């Protein structure tokens, strides 16, 4: 069986202690670089690579410094602090002689405690009742996901809206072809939402994520139990001003909140 | 005039290129270490220290690795990438021979663009119509802030609630004594909210923030225009499970969203 393109995208070769080599994945190519979600996922993979069994991600921040070119990259991972149950790992991706992205991961051996989830998922039709967005002819990375918009599908306009609109979307998203959910694919899914500036303006503008933070609320077992079904996502933004807008999103499996994520995204006038 | 205790808290002495020394601030001492907000603020100060004029913070993530002890610390700041308008700076705080915290800052020279703020502040009474929380006898850092809870004031219970409650609070917060708002004090304010696990349980538990991300939506001029008035804040959480809970908050000046922040906080069973 052919490996799933996502597994190729996060493949790393160990070169030395804490140093890994990988290749920018053509199947996830966007317009001027790869989909940022696969970059985030491969950085998290490097952060997790040499950690003890049972260690899971709690918080992960990736900062995108420069566009990645086609070809190879290296990642350096450094365990900054190792406590009894919580570990901090900083990673940095280089291409040529420059740093193209950095990330920090808080990892932990999480144990059973009391639990409480005040947040509730939105009421939505099941994915099979929602039509999939056509992606034929779209950049490669869009063809790697099945997008089913319940609300807030993006409609391209020739001119920006006269009155700027809501940044909200609710959608089902799945890997295409289907792939069992894990922390790496969940991290990529956190970056899968279209730039909110496009939604509020109705047109595309030069834009790119500069920083993404993912907070993980599910265990490896809970992700495995989710399997390869679509993930329900809500996305929104608080504000846009002076070249930057934010993005907030929730990723759900049934009634269970899997992850929350926030971004700051640059846009040009 | 005596310097404001916050200015003492974020004071740094330059020791070499990108290396600074500071002292843990006794006026912001908490139970087993200083208030995390001042640690975040002094890390941001180091990140901004040698940047060009006009550079402002866009996104900032601080990871708390270990408890800070009383005494001195050093901070190393490294500009990872310097683009035309966006810069990435990573900082690391050491005490003794160990790393106690790390942070990454995305900084930018922000220019006028179209603007859009879908988020709206809650309708609340003015701060002078809300009573201030007594802080006499409380840990030092609590005495450095004026807290006026509109909703969700924390009420200590001898036993945890039978049914876990809302994590939401709405409150006015100001530096005490008053101090004109800037990016550093705004960053500290982002960590000023009591641990949400205390609110949902009704009792305290051993707990501490492991990671905080702040997204900045206001300019230096807008912060200066705010002056030393209280900042309106809303705080909430999505979920608590397996030793970690999250926290989300918004910080407002009138109708203008100044910053949004998210955390992951560790708690013991």
Instruction: Tell me if A123 is assigned to some domain.
Output: no
Tokens 């993404």 correspond to: A212
In this structure, is the dihedral angle defined by the CA atoms of residues A115, A182, A153 and A266, taken in order, positive or negative?
Answer: positive
In this prediction, residue B177 carries a pLDDT of 97
pLDDT at A205: 86
State chain A's mean pLDDT as an integer: 96
Q: Where are the beta strands (DSSP E) in chain A?
A: 13-16, 19-23, 56-64, 72-82, 86-95, 98-108, 145-151, 169-175, 207-216, 231-236, 240-241, 244-253, 256-267
Is residue A257 included in any domain, yes or no?
yes
pTM over 0.95: yes
Considering only CB atoms, A240 lies closest to which of B88, B116, B244, namely: B116
| Mean per-residue pLDDT, A12-27 | 97
| pLDDT value of residue B203 | 87
In this predicted structure, what is the pLDDT of residue A156? 76
Token pair listed for B88: 């990435």
One DSSP character per residue, chain B reads -PPPHHHHHT--EEEETTEEEEE--GGGB-SSSB-HHHHHHHHHHHHHTTSPTT-EEEEEEEEE-SPPPSSEEEEEEEEEEE-SSEEEEEEEEEETTEEEEEEEEEEE-------B----PPP---GGGSPPPP-TTS-GGGGGEEEEEEE------SS--SS-----EEEEEEESS-----HHHHHHHTT-SPPHHHHHHSS--SEEEEEEEEEE-S-HHHHHHHTTSPEEEEEE-S-EETTEEEEEEEEEETTEEEEEEEEEEEE--
Q: What average pLDDT does the segment A113-129 reach?
A: 97
CA–CA separation, A175 and A227 (whole Å):
11
CB pairs under 8 A between A and B: 213
Residue A204's pLDDT is: 87
| Count of domains for chain B | 1
Residue A124 lies in a domain: no
Q: How far apart are CA A12 and CA A91, in angstroms?
A: 14
Q: Which regions in chain B score pLDDT beneath 50?
A: none
**Both structure tokens of A27:** 């199947």
Q: Kindly provide the residue ranges of all beta strands, DSSP E only, lying in A96-163, ordered along the sequence.
A: 98-108, 145-151
For B211, which residue in chain A has the nearest alpha carbon? A59
pLDDT score for B256: 98
Q: Is residue B194 part of a domain?
A: yes
pLDDT cut 70: percent of chain A above it: 100
On whether residue A171 sits in a domain, the answer given is yes
CB A50 within 8 A of CB A77: yes
Mean pLDDT of A188-209: 92
For B194, the domain range is 5-110+127-267
* Residue range B45-63, pLDDT digits in tens: 999 999 999 999 999 999 9
* Nearest-CB residue to B118 (from A119, A238, A257): A238
Strand duo A98-108 + A86-95: pairing: antiparallel
CB A178 within 8 A of CB A127: no
Distance in Å, alpha carbon of A4 to nearest chain B alpha carbon: 31
Residue in B closest to A267 by C-alpha: B113
Flag if B117 and A58 touch (Cβ within 8 Å).
Answer: no
Give a yes or no: residue B62 inside a domain.
yes
pLDDT at residue B48, rounded to an integer: 98
Q: What's residue A160's pLDDT?
A: 84
* CATH code for the domain of A57: 2.40.160.210
Please, which residues have CB within 8 angstroms of residue A226's CB and are 6 or more apart in sequence? A180, A181, A218, A253, A258
Spatial separation of the C-alpha atoms in residues A193 and A147, rounded to whole Å: 9
Which pLDDT does position B250 carry in this prediction? Answer: 98
A116–B217 CB contact, under 8 Å: no
CB half-sphere exposure, A139, CA atoms < 13 A: 12
User: Locate tokens 């408890």: which residue?
Assistant: B67
Best to test chain A binding among B246, B252, B254, B257 (most A CBs inside 10 Å): B246
Q: Is residue B117 part of a domain?
A: no
Mean pLDDT of A125-145: 96
Mutate to test the interface with A, among B89, B239, B267 (most CBs of A within 10 A): B239
Average pLDDT over every residue of A225-247: 98
Judge contact between B232 and B181, C-beta under 8 A. no
Q: Within a domain: residue B230?
A: yes
């Amino acid at each position: 069986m052919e490996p799933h393109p996502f597994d190729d995208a996060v493949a790393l070769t160990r070169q030395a202690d804490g140093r890994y080599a990988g290749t920018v994945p053509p199947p996830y190519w966007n317009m001027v670089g790869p989909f940022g979600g696969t970059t985030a996922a491969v950085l998290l993979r490097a952060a997790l690579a040499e950690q003890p069994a049972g260690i899971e991600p709690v918080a992960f921040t990736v900062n995108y410094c420069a566009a990645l070119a086609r070809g190879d990259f290296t990642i350096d991972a450094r365990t900054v602090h190792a406590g009894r149950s919580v570990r901090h790992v900083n990673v940095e991706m280089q291409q040529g002689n420059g740093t193209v992205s950095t990330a920090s991961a808080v990892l932990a051996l999480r144990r059973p405690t009391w639990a409480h989830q005040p947040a509730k998922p939105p009421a939505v039709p099941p994915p099979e009742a929602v039509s999939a967005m056509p992606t034929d002819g779209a950049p490669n990375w869009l063809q790697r996901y099945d997008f089913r918009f319940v609300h807030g599908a993006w409609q391209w306009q020739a001119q920006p809206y006269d009155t700027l609109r809501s940044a909200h979307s609710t959608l089902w998203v799945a890997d295409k072809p289907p792939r069992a959910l894990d922390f790496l694919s969940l991290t990529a899914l956190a970056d899968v939402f279209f730039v909110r500036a496009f939604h509020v303006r109705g047109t595309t503008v030069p834009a790119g994520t500069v920083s993404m933070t993912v907070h993980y609320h599910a265990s490896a077992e809970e992700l495995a139990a989710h399997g390869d079904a679509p993930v329900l996502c809500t996305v929104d933004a608080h504000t846009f001003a002076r070249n930057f807008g934010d993005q907030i999103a929730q990723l759900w499996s049934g009634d269970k909140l899997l992850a929350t994520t926030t971004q700051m995204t640059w846009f040009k006038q």
